[in-house]
Amino acid sequence: MKPKILLINPTITSARSARFPLAVLTLAAAVEARYASRIIDGNVDRGFVMTALDAVVSERYAAICITVMGGPQLLSAIAVSKAVRIAAPLTPIIWGGYFPTICPDAALNSSHVDFVIRGQGEDALLELLALLEAGGEPAAIEGLSWKDESGHAVHNPDRRFSAAGLARQPLRYDLIENPGQYLKATYLGRRTAGYQAALGCRYRCSFCGVNAMFQGKTALPAAERLAHDLGVLKQQLGADSITFYDHNFFDREAEMLPLLEVLAKFEMPWWCFARSDALLNLSDHAWALVRKSRLRMAYIGAESPSAEMLRDMRKGTQPEQTLAVVEKCRAMGVTPELSFMLAPPHDPEGETERSFDFIRRIKRLHPGTEIMLYIHTPLPPRLHGGSHAKQRPVQLLRDSAGRPVVYPDSAAGWAQPQWVDYWCHQDAPWLSPRLRRRIQDFTTVLGCRFPTITDIRAPAWQRALLRTAATWRYGREHYDRPWELDALKRFVRLWDPRLASL
């Protein structure tokens, strides 16, 4: 019988918003030849810590593998790690995913994490499990962070990008309980599935965790693979629409065309992440396929109205391209969903006001544009080196009172509410109370004036009510203290697309 591992996706969202736990499903597929897997998903199993405890006391596992994204998932990851450490003290606990990849020292700085796998996890996990079984030298495993005998963190060199995952066995949805429960009604359809086709992203935007994970590399799947997987989702699981999780869906056109042809055959409404430059460069033929395939919305990182800021972030696009892509999407019947990074540390107030003006300009061009507002929160530097180590040094960042910003040095520190907000791009130490309030007020006025089309709950009359109530404030740019909208929001709950659009 194969040895068994326990794979845990700690709670990150409500059961209603739960999507396929792709990280743990992918890892299960990668180790399948040698290890059996049990998956526990804290998004659907709200008592998942107890379930994990029952599992480790009733069965022997070669390792407990936990996927951890920074933000709210850290709290539940810490809770389950502490619990299983006490119940099964000898079973190794391995963390992987974006948080430990970006903050390996902080992740290892506790008694309930033994190993951290940075970057892509499939091969590194197999190598680590073999080492745990048969012994060997942890220093030989690329992408592994571990503790030496004195408890000091050791970070092996980064693992090189691998496209091997695209040739592996397809995901085994039967490893999760009732896979159908992960298909949810969205503005795309009645049963929307989350799916990732390609790996990585060839860009290296300095603020983005994807850069730390894939080091500016990408690989696209074969068209047959995409067709097979979409077939499974459609025919076996009953999906009628797809949210593509690819970090950046539109890559070079020549390589994309076979994939677009597959999508055009399926004609399932879809959503994806995209870049303005890539969409603007698509040929008429590619756009014809995009239209036939029923792309409904593209999430585009506009980030800033300032060319200098975009250069600073290594974004590689221009503000004019943001305006042009809005027009292009409108012409092609695709809703552009633009995300902005407000209040960067060097000029929080000025950049925020310029972004507000730019957003107004975009709304004049195409009122149907969806807007996602985030706070620009740079990645914490990886002090031991690595792909985003060259960013602005931490000492140069100051809070709103002029004190140096000091990042937490443990997972527990990052789980504090202000750092959860930081990770989620909701707040930053350099925001003054006035600016924080101003951003909140603008978000309320904009959200009421242009209710998101992703809100499938609110009846038309409620949306009309919000729109009407916000019209004069938006028109006069009078955002401060929108008390009447705040009162209205108590009855008509505003849908936050930042939490719900995926």
x-marked contacts with ligand SF4 along 254-293 as a string, rule CB under 6 A: ---------------------x------------------
Helix segments in 366-427, DSSP class H: 411-414, 417-423
By the rule CB under 6 A, 40 interacts with ligand SF4: no
C-alpha 208/C-alpha 468 separation (Å) is 37
Listed ranges 62-70, 303-311, 340-348, 461-469: which one lies at the site for ligand B12 (CB under 6 A): 62-70
Q: Would you count residue 344 as binding ligand SF4 (CB under 6 A)?
A: no
Contact between 210 and ligand SF4 by CB under 6 A: the answer reads: yes
Q: State which of residues 45, 114, 122, 337 lies at the interface with ligand B12 (CB under 6 A).
A: 122
Site track 229-258 with ligand SF4 (rule: CB under 6 A), x = hit: ------------------xx----------
Does residue 466 belong to the site contacting ligand SF4 (CB under 6 A)?
Answer: no
Position 329 contacts ligand SF4 (CB under 6 A): no
Specify the stretch interacting with ligand SF4 by CB under 6 A; choose among 67-75, 204-212, 414-422, 449-457.
Answer: 204-212
Residue 205 within binding range of ligand SF4, rule CB under 6 A: yes
Q: Are 250 and 289 in contact (CB under 8 A)?
A: no
Q: Which partner, ligand B12, ligand SF4, none, binds residue 67 by CB below 5 to 8 Å per kind?
A: ligand B12
- Should residue 502 be labelled a site residue for ligand B12 when binding is judged by CB under 6 A? yes
Comparing CB distances to ligand B12, the nearer of 12 and 52 is 12
301 binds, among ligand SF4, ligand B12, none (CB under 5 to 8 A by kind): ligand SF4
Tell me, what DSSP letter sits at residue 165? G
The verdict on 321 binding ligand SF4 (CB under 6 A) reads no
How far the first Cα of the chain sits from its last, in Å, is 39
Nearest to 423 by CA among 19, 75, 1: 75
Cβ atoms of 21 and 10 closer than 8 Å? no
φ, ψ (nearest 5 deg) of residue 335: -80, 120
Cα separation of 239 and 184, whole Å?
A: 9
Residues 6+ apart with CB under 8 A from 112: 78, 81, 82, 84, 85, 93
301 binds ligand SF4 (CB under 6 A): yes
Q: For ligand SF4, which is the closer residue by CB, 195 or 203?
A: 203
Decide if residue 386 touches ligand B12 (CB under 6 A). Answer: no
22 lies in the binding site for ligand B12 (CB under 6 A): yes
Six token digits for residue 104: 């390996």
Number of residues that bind ligand B12 (CB under 6 A): 38
CA distance 87 to 64: 12
Task: Confirm or reject binding of residue 340 to ligand SF4 (CB under 6 A).
Answer: no
* DSSP notation for 6-66: EEEE---S-GGG----HHHHHHHHHHTTT-EEEEEETTT-TTHHHHHHHHHHHS--SEEEE
Using alpha carbons, list the distances in angstroms from residue 469 to 305, 361, 444, 456. 28, 21, 11, 20
11 makes contact with ligand B12 (CB under 6 A): no
Which residues are at the interface with ligand B12 (CB under 6 A)?
9, 12-13, 19, 21-23, 26-27, 43, 65-67, 69-72, 94, 96-98, 117, 120-122, 125, 194, 196, 208-210, 245, 247, 423-425, 499, 502
